[in-house]
Chain A
Amino acid sequence: MDVELTEILEALCQHAPFNEIADDPQLNDMTKEIEIQYVRAGEWVIAPSALNNTLFFIRSGAIEVLSKEEKLIRRMNEGELFGYFSLLRGGKSSQSMRTIEDSLLYRIPARWFLKLYEENDNFSDFFELAREVRLRVAMDSQNSDVSLMTCPVVSLLRRPPISADISSDILTSAQIMAEHRVSSLLITENDELIGIVTDRDLRTRAVAKGLAYSTSIADIMTRDPIVMDSGDYASEAVLKMMERNVHHIPIVKNGRPIGVVSTGDIIQKESHGSVYLISDIYKQTSIEGLKSISRKMTHTFTQLVVADANTQMIGNAMSHIGTAFVKRLLQLGEEKFGPPPVPYCFIALGSQAREEQTIKTDQDNALVLSDKYDKKLHGEYFEALTDWVCRHLDDCGYTLCTGDIMASNPRWRQPLRVWKENFSEWIQKPKAEALLRLSIFFDLRGIYGDKTLAKQLNQHIRQEALQHSGFLTFMARNANQRKPPLGFFRQFVLDGEGEQSRTFNLKERGIAPIIDIVRVHALACGSDKLNTLERIEDIEAAGLLPEGRAKDLALALEMIGMVRIKHQKDQIEAGEEPNNHVNPEHLSSFEKRHLRDAFHIVTRQQEFIKFRYAGKRS
């Protein structure tokens, strides 16, 4: 009787590329040769530098992919394939694979993979794409941007390598670098690459040490530098730079250097999308022009997500775009209403100030005016300007703030002196309720105009906060208002209403609590940072938290932030309005588990600040 392993065949055909070739009768023959393995969490499937002769299909569970240096490259879940890289390269595997959950794996013999790869274009297309790293598919075809993940490192090279012979001294080497305007120099001996010298080397190894100009370049160069092959992917160059903490990597072809890739080249490439958008913003001369750019923002956002940017990178890019809109509008406003009669500084508050904006945020801003401001003389000008700017920000997708925390509100458009008084009042005589509304004022960044005004105000806030620790008690209490959605048995607690009843709010109950916690600590240690991750670094350095806890917070933020960003990207792709309401049923088991851990961290840290800042001196 003909044997049909329907369960296996159906499982395969639910996922790419098998769904594309489900009608291929060979598929049934292939399933008959599959071997199945149950592998517990934490075991190697493809051990480092082991040979691999199988295509793996994850029937259930999850796998992590590690580089040669055992750094995490990515994670894979149910329905994904791995091992094909090495099959296409004759079994040699540069990456290793380890289970992170108990997993059921199908082993498909290499023979079948290679046969289908040869014969079926739909099948091979999938792997071609995957080889150029799975991302391109999702990218807009008319967009010519090429992600780092998909381009070979050679495409980043901008010029032939600049080199000097080993016999050169420091002076001539520096002259060559200056002449060619490069930040690194390859050192050769008989035309063979033997070392590299960078700007940093000249600074720290030569000038700072007071070496004579005539010192041989060999004394300060890095011998046998890390090199990469011209066929390697740019993303591998990034990994290598991060791992080894180097900023320049010579690229070789057939053993000869053909150029150098620097971190600068990479940044330029990676942020091309957002940088391009920003420069476009500054070119606009009309509101219509700005509005049409604002419609491209969702695309930039999804592109960043698809390119595997982390939340920090995305928050940074989105905030810079947001800031560019504000700046351009203010420039246009000053053209319209004339130059400002007294100096002012336009202030971003909240996520934009922290450089953590995502897609779709409403505006939170304010204006700090010079103390020369006289309402009778200048009031009209600034009212008109801010009103115009806030209204057009709304046109560009930054909706008006429901709490009316905007520069167009006269209450939040004050001279520096009044701002200082306000903050002194809030800090010296804290009222819990009022502070809840005001917490976003403690994330404050000057983005246009006379930024020293914002700087002075921030200094004032830090000093006041350090002197009045009773204030921190209130902030800590407020940071405990919003609890993570975790029940007693670590199940998710849903809080949505109506259509969203099966969801919880990731921003309100995950991200905001972390930001609140970190802000309290940041104020307590007098940190002048605004970005949450940077604040965490300061907090760690100040030793406010027990060993490892600061890092926990950063990890939790990244985890929750990533889930939110993926969720919003999915919504955008499905043609929906992005929001923060996540249905846990739509999460992978991997995400669920890590989200639980992240929420657990938040809960513990909320407890901690309650105790840490409990009624000190109050």
Chain B
Amino acid sequence: MAKLLLKNKSKEGIQDWQAMFSEWAEEAPEGPLKRYYQAGMIAPQTALKDTPLLALDLETTGLDSSQDEIISLGLIPLSHKTIRCQGAQYWMAKPERSLNAESVTIHEITHSELAEAPRLHAILDEILLALTHQVIVVHCVAIERQFLLEASMKIYGFPLYFPVLDTMDIERQATFKPWWKRFGRQPSLRLDACRQRYKLPRYKAHHALTDALSSAELLQAQISYHMDPNADISNYWV
């Protein structure tokens, strides 16, 4: 079966997160973030099947990363074949500003639960440790990356970047058809819609750990359908 190989993003060549990590390891201020970069990243020639993957999902108070805040974060480790619940982790963080009623209903997290949670700055070190040396799996890279970047700027004064396999982007390429072959609407790229395409079960959305699990399962389905486990990770990460 023809496996989809994503095109390299940059004209200069492959995306080399390993090289970028060693640069940032020099520049980052002393502390947890520096140690995160110093721990390094896998080489771009690493095969997808040998890549340590970590599915991640955030719940936030809203969609604007400059104003809204992270209130929970879920992680679940996986390989191209297996998702390991044993390494699942979950944090809640008390936001600086109070929660509005709307986002409470979305997340099923209550005020009282959050009131008892620590602040994000108190747990970000721990989260960084979990992210160390991992390629992150998310559905829609823009949101997760931006929120963690903002948080890191605020807490460490230096940006946090990490390589990502974006299941939404993978799905977009997998379902892509040139305009002359399109019929009707473009397929939906929402997480739930993507999952249904692979006959994955339906989950209640908006719990960070469930959503992380959701995108982990989606990636496995996508790998089995569209991706080549022996191909270099640089073909896929963004």
Contact = CB atoms under 8 A, between A and B. Distances in A.
A60 B84 CA distance: 18
Contacts of B91: 1
A8 interface: yes
A37 B85 contact: no
Interface in B209-227: 209-210, 213, 216-217, 220-221, 224-225
A104 B83 CA distance: 11
B199 A60 contact: yes
Contacts of A3: 88-90, 209
Nearest to B198: A102
Interface residues of A, number: 26
B105 interface: no
Interface stretch (B3-11, B131-139, B200-208): B200-208
A605 interface: no
A107 B79 CA distance: 14
Contacts of A31: 85
Interface string A26-39: 00000111111111
B224 A8 contact: no
B154 interface: no
Contact of A36 (B83, B199, B204, B225): B83
A40 interface: yes
A87 to B, nearest CB: 19
A34 B85 contact: yes
B86 interface: yes
B89 A102 contact: no
Contacts of A107: 82
Interface majority SS on A: helix, strand, loop or mixed? mixed
Interface majority SS on B: helix, strand, loop or mixed? mixed
Nearest to B72: A1
Contacts of B221: 38, 102
A60 B200 contact: yes
Interface string B70-88: 0000000000011111101
A433 interface: no
A236 B60 CA distance: 57
A179 interface: no
A482 B201 CA distance: 36
B56 interface: no
B118 to A, nearest CB: 9
A12 to B, nearest CB: 12
Interface in A1-46: 1, 3-8, 11, 31-40
A299 B237 CA distance: 61
A261 B41 CA distance: 66
Contact of A8 (B85, B86, B220): B85
Interface string B83-123: 11110111110000000000000000000000000000000
Given A36-B85, A36-B220, 5 more contacts: A5-B85, A7-B210, A35-B85, A102-B199, A107-B82
14 contacts: A5-B88, A5-B213, A6-B207, A33-B86, A34-B85, A35-B82, A35-B85, A36-B217, A37-B81, A37-B82, A39-B224, A40-B224, A60-B200, A102-B221
Interface of A: 1, 3-8, 11, 31-40, 59-61, 101-102, 104, 107, 589
